[in-house]
Protein backbone atom coordinates (compact mmCIF):
# COMPACT_ATOMS: atom_id res chain seq x y z
CA UNK A 1 0.00 0.00 0.00
CA UNK A 2 1.27 3.47 -0.90
CA UNK A 3 1.69 5.89 2.00
CA UNK A 4 0.40 9.40 1.20
CA UNK A 5 0.75 12.64 3.18
CA UNK A 6 -0.44 16.20 2.64
CA UNK A 7 1.72 18.70 4.48
CA UNK A 8 0.35 22.22 4.83
CA UNK A 9 2.74 25.19 4.73
CA UNK A 10 5.46 22.98 3.26
CA UNK A 11 7.04 25.95 1.47
CA UNK A 12 9.33 26.70 4.45
CA UNK A 13 10.17 26.06 8.09
CA UNK A 14 8.70 23.12 9.99
CA UNK A 15 6.30 22.21 7.17
CA UNK A 16 9.16 21.93 4.69
CA UNK A 17 11.23 19.85 7.12
CA UNK A 18 8.27 17.52 7.74
CA UNK A 19 7.58 17.13 4.01
CA UNK A 20 11.19 16.22 3.27
CA UNK A 21 11.35 13.79 6.21
CA UNK A 22 8.19 12.03 5.07
CA UNK A 23 9.56 11.89 1.52
CA UNK A 24 12.75 10.28 2.78
CA UNK A 25 10.55 7.63 4.39
CA UNK A 26 8.76 6.77 1.14
CA UNK A 27 5.58 8.83 1.33
CA UNK A 28 3.92 10.21 -1.79
CA UNK A 29 3.31 13.85 -1.08
CA UNK A 30 0.87 16.71 -1.50
CA UNK A 31 2.71 20.01 -0.95
CA UNK A 32 0.71 23.15 -0.14
CA UNK A 33 1.47 26.85 0.15
CA UNK A 34 -0.41 30.08 0.60
CA UNK A 35 1.85 32.92 -0.54
CA UNK A 36 5.33 31.46 -1.17
CA UNK A 37 5.00 29.51 -4.40
CA UNK A 38 8.75 29.72 -4.96
CA UNK A 39 9.42 28.04 -1.60
CA UNK A 40 6.89 25.32 -2.40
CA UNK A 41 8.52 24.70 -5.77
CA UNK A 42 11.92 24.39 -4.05
CA UNK A 43 10.45 21.85 -1.64
CA UNK A 44 8.90 20.01 -4.58
CA UNK A 45 12.22 19.95 -6.43
CA UNK A 46 14.01 18.46 -3.40
CA UNK A 47 11.15 15.99 -2.95
CA UNK A 48 11.29 14.83 -6.57
CA UNK A 49 14.94 13.89 -6.08
CA UNK A 50 13.89 11.41 -3.36
CA UNK A 51 10.81 9.52 -4.59
CA UNK A 52 8.07 9.84 -7.22
CA UNK A 53 4.55 10.85 -6.37
CA UNK A 54 4.28 14.59 -5.79
CA UNK A 55 1.54 17.13 -6.37
CA UNK A 56 1.77 20.80 -5.34
CA UNK A 57 -1.44 22.59 -4.25
CA UNK A 58 -2.06 26.31 -3.67
CA UNK A 59 -4.24 27.22 -0.69
CA UNK A 60 -6.16 30.44 -1.12
CA distance linking residue 19 with residue 38, whole number of Å: 16
Q: Are 40 and 11 in contact (CB under 8 A)?
A: yes
Mean pLDDT value across residues 3-15 = 83
Mean pLDDT value across residues 17-28 = 85
Q: How many domains does the chain have?
A: 1
Q: Are 44 and 58 in contact (CB under 8 A)?
A: no
pTM of the shown model: 0.66
| pLDDT score, position 52 | 57
- Residue range 23-56, pLDDT digits in tens: 888 888 777 777 778 887 887 777 666 655 666 6
CA distances from 22 to 19, 37, 44, 51 (A): 5, 20, 13, 10
Determine the angle formed by the axes of helices 13-24 and 37-48, rounding to 10 degrees: 20
53: containing domain: 4-58
**pLDDT-derived band of residue 14, with 50, 70 and 90 as boundaries?**
very high
Amino acid sequence: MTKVAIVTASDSGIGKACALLLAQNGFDMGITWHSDERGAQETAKKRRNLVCGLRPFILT
